[in-house]
Every structure is written in structure tokens, then in C-alpha cells.
Amino acid sequence: MDRQFLLAPGPTPVPEEARLAMAKSLIHHRGQEFRVVFGEVRERLGWLFETEQPVLTVTASGTGTFEAAMINFTKRSDTIICIGGGKFGERWGEIGRAYGMNVVDLDVEWGEAVDPQQVADALDAHPDCAMVTLTASETSTGVLHPFEEVAEVIHDKSDALFAVDGITAVGVHRVPMDASGIDILVAGSQKAFGIPPGLGFVAASERAWERAADSDHPRYYFDLAREKKKQLDDQTAFTPGITQIIAAQVVLRMMVEEGRDALVARHQVNADATRAGVQALGLELLASRPANSVSAVLVPEGFSGPDVVRTMLDKHGATIAGGQAHLKPRLFRIGHIGFFDRSDILNALSALELTLEELGMDVERGRAVAAAQGVYADNLL
């Protein structure tokens, strides 16, 4: 194949405007030109997070930003409740254990959304809880958890901080940090932003920053108080990912120009079209409450998720994602997060039809594409 299609839920395709910006001569991170760029990025991140608090940029993966969020706003003796339901929801607990904290796992079946009553019950059982964590859009299962309802329960019943992984939610769904009562919100560059991996974004509420003064976890690179002081002056504590920050300036301008509601609507329509297409082929979604970032699709009995992923790439040049952990044999995932349009989704569904046929499934050619076209016809983008 001459052309490759990246349809994973991250990294996502980088818009041409951002690629061209990154190809320019490198600037120095202590110069005035960088400060102007970074100041604009900080302002527009606040717009996207819907917060009056500073949104910090950390040169790290999403997991690094998770870790920074955990160790800056808790103490080693704290009890934290980690809502599971997928690989990334469970990762919060893994980080907490690595730092010797008392982690309470709130188990949620993969593919299901957490019931806010489960959170209420866990808080009743652990009244000393200092933090509750949740992955809003669980990339491993395609589930969107009811983060606003969970926030309401937490603040009604406790003084615990609410930390949210918004890595595949921010820029896809509205995640109004301040209005929702989220205390800590993290995101990553390689998802809805369409920037190469390497930047994490984290914002914290005023009361979270008050707790930070009491944190006793060891940290150096991930000292967010030091980072905050520097970034309020449009600088970073250490050498940042300069080219990615330049790309962020471009992409955030594109997002602001498109508008929050239009950004969310585009993701909604692309997700609806993808889901309509796979369901028209008789396939089932794993998620009971689907997110608009990724569709996690169950393969029929007798077929293999890894075979679908491999054939999509080898025969049709389309990179999709496989299932994770115990779902690896039974699942494949199609990403529709970031700067996708209808042609990307229709190409993906056409390749999926051919892939399933090549693997021996009885497929009516054009059925998935027609179903998606119907969605687009009803929702002109």
C-alpha cells in the first residue's frame, strides 16, 4: 500500500498545518518568541478545559501526567478510590500503589459505565478518602463514564478531590472542568489535539492547590508547584517539547476557529457513523455507554480480533487498534478522535467490509458504508 490510514485512538493523524509549523527552524525555549507562543497556548488550553485555573503543559506521556497529578495533590498516607472499568482507569491505582498509598479499587465490568451509587457506597465505606480517580473516556473499552454525576456524588458526600483522566475526552466531549466540579483534569497531545506524543496537560482547582502544600511524595521533574510558577510567566521549569508546543498553538487556533460545540458535534457524527456502519454488519459494540473517541467492536465467535487488525493493515493500509488485556482476542477498536472527516470514516468502513470478507465472514458489500452515509446525510458537516 502506498498510502497508510491511521485510525487508532491515539496517536492520531497530525493536521498538515501543524506538520508544517513543526518543520520550521527551531526556536529557543528561553527566548521571547517562545514566550509569545506558549502564552497563547496556555490561554487557549484554558478555553478548551473550560477553567479559570492555569492549565500546565508537561513534556511527558499521558501516564507521566497521571503520575504528576497523583503525587502533587496527595500524601503517602492517603486513601484513594480508583474507579476501574478498563486499562486506564486501573492505571491510576497502579500509580498509587507504586507510591505506597492505600488504594481502594472500585471494580467496574469492562464495557460498562460506573454507577454513581457505587461511588457513593465506596465513599461511605472509606470516609477518609482523599481522592477519587476516574478515566472519563475509557480508551480500552470505548465507554464514556458519567463524570459529572460522579463529581456531584463526591462533593455531596466527602471532601475528596476528584481527579479525571480526560485524555480521550477533552476535545471530543465537553469537559467543563470548573462547572463540573473536577479538581484535577489531565489530557494528552496525541489524541484530540492531533499532535505527536510527548505533551501532557494538567489543571487543578484552587482547593487541589491548597492540598499540594501538604504533599509529601518525593518529586523533582514532576513538581507542579514549581512548574506553575514558571508557566504563569510563560516559561517552563525545564526544556519542553518546543516543536509540539508550536504545533499546539496551530491546533488550538483551529479548535477555537471551529468552536467548542462544532468540535463536539463533529466527533459525535463521526462516532455515530462508525457505530452505524459496524452494527450494519451485524457486529456488536462492547460499550454500554459509548464515547465519541473510539468504537470498541466485538468480533463474532470463531473470528479473531488480532486477525482483523493485521488484515486491515497488511491488505488495506489502515491502522486500527486491537483489544487490550483479556479482551485482546475478542476486540478491535476504530478511532475517530481528532481531525477526521467523513472520507476517513467511509474509507475505514470500506476496508473493514473487505477485511471481514477476506477472513471468511458473510458480508454484504457496501452495507456498512451505506449506513454511515445515512448518518452523514442526516447530519451534514
Cα Rg for the chain, rounded, in angstroms? 21
Side chain identity at residue 14, one-letter code: V
Q: What angle do CA 96, 175, 272 make, to 5 degrees?
A: 110
| Pair 366, 354: CB distance under 8 Å | no
Q: Which residues contact 350 (CB under 8 A, 6 or more apart)?
A: 368, 369
**Conformational region of residue 85, where left means phi above 0, alpha means psi within -120 to 50, and beta covers everything else:** left
Contacts of 82 by beta carbon, 8 Å cutoff, 6+ apart: 89, 90, 92, 93, 96, 103, 104, 105, 106, 132, 133
Query: CA torsion 121→127→133→138, rounded to 10°?
Result: -10
The residue type found at 187 is A
Which strand (E) or helix (H) includes residue 253?
helix 242-258
In angstroms, the CA 283 to CA 32 distance is: 54
Distance of alpha carbon 329 from the chain centroid? 23
- The answer to whether 188 and 62 are in contact (CB under 8 A) is yes
Q: Is 367 annotated for ligand binding?
A: no
Beta bridge partners of 335: 294
Q: Say how many residues make up the chain.
A: 381
What one-letter code names the amino acid at 26?
L
Amino acid letter, 58: V
Feature table: binding site = 333
Feature table: binding site for substrate = 333
